[in-house]
Amino acid sequence: MGRKEKGCIFCKRLTKDDDRKNLILFRGKTAFVILNKYPYNSGHLMVVPNRHKRDLEALTIRELTELMQLTQKCVQVLKKTFSPDGFNIGFNLGKAAGAGIDDHLHVHIVPRFTGDTNFLPVLGQTKLQSIGLEEVLDFLTPGFSAKGGSAPGGKRAARAKRAKKS
C-alpha cells in the first residue's frame, strides 16, 4: 500500500492543480469527489467537504446539501457507467467506527456487485481489482464533466487554499 502520508490527504489533494494525478473527479463550491486510491471495489468514490472538519455537525447547510447532491451524482454516474447491483454509502466517523482518515470527514460510495465477495480478502487479506484506477478515471470522468463546477484539469487550488483556512 505504500507509506502513510503526513497531514491530511484530502486537503493536500485540494491544493494541487493536477486533478487526474490526484484522483479528483469533480470540484464543487464546498465539496469534491475523489476516487479512493485503495478501493473496496472498482469505482469506490468519496465525497469530501473542502473545509477540514471532523464532525458532521460542524458543516453548514450549504456544505451538507452539496455533500448529498454530489453523493447522488456519484450514484447516477456509477449506475450509468458500471451498472452495479447495489451500493454501500456512508460515513465512518471516528477511529472506533472504522475511519482510516478520521480528522476530515467524507462519504464513501461503494458500488456492489452480486458475488463481489470471495475468499481472497478473507484468507489472503488481498483485494483483487479487475480494473485499474486510470481506467476507472477514464470511464467516470465524462459523467462528472456535465455538472457545474470543475471537472479534472481545472485550476482551483487557490479556492481550495482559502477554504482550508475557514
Residue 65 Cα distances to 29, 112, 148, angstroms = 11, 25, 15
The domain that contains 103 carries what CATH number? 3.30.428.10
Model pLDDT, residue 130? 65
| Any domain includes 115 | yes
The H or E element containing residue 32 is: strand 31-35
| Any domain includes 124 | yes
Domain that holds residue 101: 9-156
Model pLDDT, residue 38? 86
For the stretch 64-119, pLDDT in tens is 999 999 999 999 999 999 999 999 999 988 788 777 777 899 999 999 998 877 55
Residue of 146 and 56 predicted with greater confidence: 56
Categorise residue 4: left if φ over 0, alpha if ψ from -120 to 50, beta otherwise: beta
Distance CA 108, CA 111 (A): 10
| Any domain includes 65 | yes
Note if 106 is an active site residue: yes
160 — pLDDT class (breaks 50, 70, 90) = very low
| Any domain includes 92 | yes
For the stretch 2-45, pLDDT in tens is 566 778 999 999 999 999 999 999 999 999 999 999 888 899 99
Question: What residues are paired with 29 via a beta bridge?
Answer: none
Which member of 44, 52, 106, 108 is catalytic?
106
| Any domain includes 109 | yes
Count of the separate structural domains present in the chain: 1
| Any domain includes 3 | no
| Any domain includes 4 | no
Q: Locate 35 and state its grid cell.
A: 476516487
Q: pTM for the full model?
A: 0.80
Average pLDDT over residues 50-73: 97
| Any domain includes 48 | yes
Q: Locate 74 and state its grid cell.
A: 456519484
**If you search the block for the grid coordinates 478515471, which residue do you land on?**
137
